[in-house]
Structure 1
Amino acid sequence: MQKVVFGVISFSLNETTRGLIGTHELGLMKPTAWLVNVARAEIIDGEALYQALAERRIAGAAIDVWYRYPQDQSPTWPASQAFHELPNVLMRPHVAGGSEGTVQARVAVVAENIARLVRGERPIDLVERPS
């Protein structure tokens, strides 16, 4: 059984961190690695991430942050790249805001989804790809 490795991006976006992870950094990851981004999308070069995923240079990505957000009521894809079409990408909308208990509830869902992935099970709140 291959060891699954998770790399979690959880720091703030600023001029130092914008585009910090690109082709080179993704190339340093193991092919069994999953990249989890719960920070800001722009920390990772979107095209580089898409290519690493599409070419299976890394095992997958769990993304709850978008490169593009809706500006009105019309549908908006979360990125210029079709991450939603890749079988090794899990996408979930970033939920901001906080109140008593919400942080613990979110942590519990994230932990449960990671455990489910490791066991090969379906994550909670998985959004199916359009056919």
Structure 2
Amino acid sequence: MKIAALVQNVEFKQRIEEKMRKTNIFIDFIKNDEPLIPQIMDAEIIINSFNKIDRNLIDSCPKLKLVQQSGIGVDGIDIDYCTEKDIYVANVPLANAISVAEHTFLLMLYLCKNIKLDPLQSVSSTGRFVRREPDKIGFELQGKNLLIIGLGVTGIEVAKRAKAFGMKVTAITKHPFTKTVGGDKKYFVDYLYGIDKLVDVLPKADIVSIHTPLNQETENMIGKKELDLMKKSAYLVNVARAPIVSREALLGSLVNKNIAGAAFDVFWEEPADTDDPLLKLENFVLTPHLAGWTYEAIDSITDIMFMNFERILRGQIPMTMVNKG
């Protein structure tokens, strides 16, 4: 069985190779400097990181049985077409939740503490930080209102950490009634609502953190109307998918200081164009889609993937299949 890995992260490749040596499973890593289709056309399994798995690619792989996403988000895969072609699609829904939640707080603290590190001005030749007078004073997370959009596994991990910081936590989720058994405290939130209450809770939030998947329902969920409802002192954090937020609306809101700032680990095109106007703004922070990439997360991701590979070899359904029907 040929398994083709569309993987770029060096540590991830190394962990896959280590795991591969302990099994009877062999994996080919795609060479980025060569045409893609000839390298994957006879693959039965594709490991995908950030590539688009569209109809053209799927039709080019007639033996394909499984598309294994290396993260939780499968918005780049044409799942309906895979299902039509009897191809399984699987993700790793639990593996990097803690890593992403921790990164969320890195971004929150960066914004709230007004950290601005200019490598030419803020660090001396000895490697020590140079004291500067801030243009505004930062604030504590203690007592602040955090609005979590999307109370899945990662959202719950964020809520758990927010309570440790002494924050007041409100969550918006698609099916709130499925999470009320045993009380909302089970999910580390003070208030839990459906998406219909988003416009009601946005004006109360000091920080809005996005943890919902990207789909037809959530694309441009945060637009001009929603950003205008936020406090001028509020911050927006997005470690999910960039298109959940309207690009044009965010740029306008940041330029006009309608919100205090935003921090993203995702962008509309990756890697981001350094000339993009958002990247020119002092109140916008971008990290290069690395929230879920830690050694611990990579270990968990690899274990789940190999479990699914072994199930395919035995003619079984992947444990983390996302196909419907």
TM over 0.5: yes
The question of whether the paired residues in 2 share the 8 Å contact of 1:47 and 1:81 is answered with no
Counterpart residue number, 1:26? 227
Q: How many residues align?
A: 97
Give the gaps of 5 or more residues in structure 1. Answer: 71-75, 104-131
The question of whether the paired residues in 2 share the 8 Å contact of 1:35 and 1:61 is answered with yes
AA at the equivalent of 2:277? A
Counterpart residue number, 2:211? 10
The question of whether the paired residues in 1 share the 8 Å contact of 2:239 and 2:291 is answered with no
The question of whether the paired residues in 1 share the 8 Å contact of 2:211 and 2:239 is answered with yes
Note if 1:46 corresponds to 2:247. Answer: yes
Q: How many Å apart are 1:68 and its aligned residue? A: 0.7
- In 2: Cα distance, 1:29 partner to 1:19 partner: 16
Q: What SS does the aligned partner of 1:7 have?
A: strand
CA pair 93-48 structure 1, distance change in 2 beyond 3 A: same
Q: What SS does the aligned partner of 2:279 have?
A: helix
Which protein has the bigger helix share? 2
Q: How many Å apart are 1:95 and its aligned residue? A: 2.0
Give the gaps of 5 or more residues in structure 2. Answer: 1-136, 145-205, 299-325
Out of 269, 278, 286, which is 1:83 matched to? 278
Q: How many Å apart are 1:69 and its aligned residue? A: 1.9
- In 2: Cα distance, 1:28 partner to 1:38 partner: 21
Out of 79, 94, 114, which is 2:289 matched to? 94
- In 1: Cα distance, 2:293 partner to 2:280 partner: 31
Q: What SS does the aligned partner of 1:102 have?
A: helix
The question of whether the paired residues in 1 share the 8 Å contact of 2:214 and 2:244 is answered with yes
- In 1: Cα distance, 2:269 partner to 2:138 partner: 34
Q: How many Å apart are 1:6 and its aligned residue? A: 1.1
Please tell me whether Structure 1 or Structure 2 has the larger radius of gyration of its CA atoms: 2
- In 2: Cα distance, 1:92 partner to 1:15 partner: 25
The question of whether the paired residues in 2 share the 8 Å contact of 1:10 and 1:37 is answered with yes
AA at the equivalent of 1:87? E
Q: What SS does the aligned partner of 1:101 have?
A: helix
- In 2: Cα distance, 1:15 partner to 1:65 partner: 18
Q: How many Å apart are 1:102 and its aligned residue? A: 3.5
Runs of 4+ in 1 over 3 A off after TM superposition: 1-4, 96-100
- In 2: Cα distance, 1:11 partner to 1:25 partner: 16
Q: What SS does the aligned partner of 2:209 have?
A: strand
Counterpart residue number, 2:72? none
Q: What SS does the aligned partner of 2:258 have?
A: coil
